[in-house]
Structure 1
Amino acid sequence: MKFELKKTAGKRRVDMTPMIDCVFQLLLFFLVASNFQEQARITGEGEMGANLPAVAAAMPMVMKPREMIVNVDDGGDFYLDGQLYTERQLAERFNRAQTDNPGNQSVVIRGSEGAEWKYVARVMGLCNQAEIRDYRVAVIPDEENE
């Protein structure tokens, strides 16, 4: 019995295309990365040669602004931070707070039980004019209903 050997068994080829693609991609990656690092060094945007101080009581750079508490007394007077404000002064203060903290300023309105509702509504209107959307009216919960 005579066996025939196929001559193709010795001529197997390894496809080098995927390996060459990977090598080129790595080469391009390192070329681009080194170019960015060199540009940062030239323009001075890289490392800064300064010793920054350590501070124990540092405040974060992004923090929620302090909420403003407006008190309305029985006579319809407006108090903010313990000071008496006219309606115009309160509007200016709200506008300044909204400019300093766009979209983040909050206001709590505390109306006295004897104060007319129109004064509380005026403060709410001033908040709307200054585009302060985070405002609320503080109340004391009724103990009988709990």
Structure 2
Amino acid sequence: MPRFETWPDAGIGGRIGRGDYAGCWVVAECDQVPFLSPFEYHLMLPATELLKEDGSFLLVSGCEDRLNPDGGGLIDLLTDELGVAWSTERADYLAALDAWSEDLEHRIDEERKQQGLRPFDWAAPGGARRHGRWWQGWLSSRRP
């Protein structure tokens, strides 16, 4: 796991090495910039919940933690349990974020389908005005 002080401003990406989601990207994003102690981050995972290899609960996507200098935090748990290989390269972070975004789009569309609603138009997010600036910005970043 890269030292927190070496993380780019946005965060880092990593690939899961084993388990049901082996090969999938995960994202760890910083919760404050500039980096001031205690270092806080949140994890974005390829599923709402991740399980250990034995099928028991591991983590929920969006969980937050403080980086512990001696280890033992959620990011260390994820790394140890599923063999995550982390990278501080911006290209890896962007690839991980893109994969997470596509997964979120799919989950939202599936929920809408189950509710009898049509899929959201991800290419033209004009209808997102009522959801706030963050939502509009995120949807706009998803345009081809």
Greater per-residue strand proportion: 2
What is the TM-score of this pair, normalised by structure 1? 0.25
Higher relative contact order (CA 8 A, sep 6+): 2
What is the TM-score of this pair, normalised by structure 2? 0.25
